[in-house]
Chains A and B, each alone.
Chain A
Amino acid sequence: MSEAAEDVIEQTLPLDAWHRSQGARLVSFASYQMPIQYEGIIAEHLWTRSHAGLFDVSHMGQLLISGTDAASALETLLPGDIAGLGANKMRYSLLLAENGGILDDLMVTRRDDGFYIVVNGATKYDDIAHIHDFLPEDVVLNHMDEHALLALQGPEAAAALSRLIPGVQALTFMNAGDFMLDGIPLWISRSGYTGEDGFEISVPEERVVDLAERLCGQPEVKPIGLGARDSLRLEAGLPLYGHDLDPETTPVMADLGFAISRRRREEGGFPGAERIAIERSQGPVVKRVGLAIEGRQPVREGALVLDGEGNEVGRVTSGGFSPSLERPIAMAYVPTASAAPGTTIQVGQRGKIFMGTVTPMPFVPHRYHR
């Protein structure tokens, strides 16, 4: 009982007081008090698409896995080519269960001191326990819970950050490196989850207020809440774990086949390899697609995808109003036969039928700095 109770105790982020001083409204998310919005979701969303937004993602888990056999150990858990990952390069990957179901999605980067992995906040303790079980004794997992994580996203992110930290502009998308700002050691990657150019910055938690102040002191930068983070990633076609991905979905169903590196596909040796190979050749039962919804009313997570007779054949996993496109958009799992772009999809929500059209994702083009 006491352990379970401890699990649900709300934690505060290192920037908690700072968020409140910036006028944030806080909500519970992944057992943290997190800023949902400051001035308003639409304004923050559009600011990020045109300038630069600062996101506190310190609830996410930062892990360092080191040891000579770390790469091969990780390859027993992930379908990505970890051994072939170059120095300071990062890759999107998936933590897979034995049956090929997705336990989490993550970013892995090869650093001098090991593999730096960023996992979702709501799943980090389960991930750590799961990874632990698979690591040989000489491979060590360090939960870097003394580090905060900020994301600076938007077309003016590079201008703002390079003014403070000359040299960061030389990073290209999915590359990372060590930097220093007035004695603050930073690990910075050119990456993010908004579809925009930008950076993610790992910083010792006792220095994160200092860093956030300096970043928000730049004219391009405003703090942005979780609400806009969600609408930005939806427009970018990026799945959110616990909503668009879960243990019932496989990488093929989720249309994340790119996360299975070619060498791994050919060699196998990752959890669910057999099932994933069959789904790749025969097609999955359902597939994650983007939907443009007719009218102005959004469909939300949990709305049902219906066939012509009104039977449930799929489900909306994310849905909302796109501030950039000024129309409702959604992600849904639909039967593979109905997954081609242009297909009309019926969605039922609270007794009402909505018409959607399968639309290639991203809904709003990515603008990564390659």
Chain B
Amino acid sequence: MTLYFTKDHEWIAVEGDSATVGITDYAQAQLGDVVFVEVPPAGTQIAKGKEAAVVESVKAASDVYAPVTGEVTEGNSGLEADPALVNTSPEGDGWFFKLKLSNPAELDGLMDSAGYKAFVEGL
């Protein structure tokens, strides 16, 4: 499994042509208490850079953009009952959706763990 990160503070865990997407610990800390998450259902075609999910904190609503193009194979139904998983386990049980990559080459421009860490420290 390889872990990638975007400048929009999403992580993508890739195994073969399947990927799991979520938001980073930095992102959840910036959002504050998450009270609602809307994830795309299985079968949804999502395109890199387009809205893929909605996350709402007590304060505000934010869009989550698809970091890569593909077809959603599973949305995290656990977030419906317990949206706070995004705060308590952003890079674990608080994942947003899984998808089948259409174009694995899109991963090339993304950061690895060390690159993302440096990126966040520079903010």
Chain A residues packing against B (C-beta within 8 Å): 36-37, 40-43, 227, 231, 296-298, 300, 320-321, 323, 350
State in angstroms the CA–CA spacing of A300 and B36 once bound together.
13
Chain B residues packing against A (C-beta within 8 Å): 32-33, 35-36, 38, 54, 56-61, 80, 83
Contact of B32 among A227, A298, A350 (CB under 8 A): A227
State in angstroms the CA–CA spacing of A40 and B54 once bound together.
20
Contact of B56 among A36, A40, A42, A297 (CB under 8 A): A297
State in angstroms the CA–CA spacing of A320 and B60 once bound together.
8
Contact A321 B36 (CB under 8 A): yes
Contact B56 A298 (CB under 8 A): yes
Contact A320 B58 (CB under 8 A): yes
State in angstroms the CA–CA spacing of A231 and B57 once bound together.
12
Contact B33 A298 (CB under 8 A): no
Contact of A227 among B38, B59, B61 (CB under 8 A): B59
Contact A41 B36 (CB under 8 A): no
Sample 23 A-B pairs with CB under 8 A, ordered by A number: A36-B59, A37-B32, A40-B32, A41-B32, A41-B57, A41-B59, A43-B33, A227-B32, A231-B58, A296-B35, A296-B36, A297-B36, A297-B54, A297-B56, A298-B35, A298-B56, A300-B61, A320-B58, A320-B59, A321-B35, A321-B56, A321-B58, A323-B58
Q: Chain B nearest CB: distance from A259 CB in Å?
A: 29
Contact A41 B33 (CB under 8 A): yes
Contact of B83 among A227, A296, A320 (CB under 8 A): A296
Contact A227 B60 (CB under 8 A): no
Q: Chain B nearest CB: distance from A169 CB in Å?
A: 32
Q: Chain A nearest CB: distance from B117 CB in Å?
A: 21
Which residues of B have CB within 8 Å of A231?
A: 58
Which residues of A have CB within 8 Å of B38?
A: 297
Which residues of B have CB within 8 Å of A40?
A: 32-33
Which residues of A have CB within 8 Å of B60?
A: 300
State in angstroms the CA–CA spacing of A36 and B33 once bound together.
13
Which of B35, B36, B80 has its CB near the most chain A CB atoms (within 10 A)?
A: B35
Which residues of B have CB within 8 Å of A297?
A: 36, 38, 54, 56
Which residues of B have CB within 8 Å of A36?
A: 59
Q: Which residue of B lies closest to A298 (CB)?
A: B56
Q: Which residue of B lies closest to A45 (CB)?
A: B58
Contact of A42 among B36, B58, B61 (CB under 8 A): B58
Which residues of A have CB within 8 Å of B35?
A: 296, 298, 321
State in angstroms the CA–CA spacing of A320 and B59 once bound together.
7
Q: Chain B nearest CB: distance from A337 CB in Å?
A: 30
Q: Chain B nearest CB: distance from A149 CB in Å?
A: 23
State in angstroms the CA–CA spacing of A191 and B36 once bound together.
33
Contact of B36 among A43, A227, A298 (CB under 8 A): A298
Contact A227 B56 (CB under 8 A): no
Contact A41 B61 (CB under 8 A): no
Q: Chain B nearest CB: distance from A53 CB in Å?
A: 15
Which residues of A have CB within 8 Å of B32?
A: 37, 40-41, 227
Q: Which residue of B lies closest to A42 (CB)?
A: B33
Which residues of A have CB within 8 Å of B61?
A: 298, 300, 350
Which residues of B have CB within 8 Å of A37?
A: 32
Q: Chain A nearest CB: distance from B48 CB in Å?
A: 21
Taking A227-B59, A321-B36 as known contacts, 9 extra A-B pairs with beta carbons closer than 8 A to each other, sorted by chain A number, are A36-B59, A37-B32, A41-B33, A41-B57, A42-B33, A227-B58, A297-B56, A300-B61, A350-B61
Which residues of B have CB within 8 Å of A320?
A: 58-59
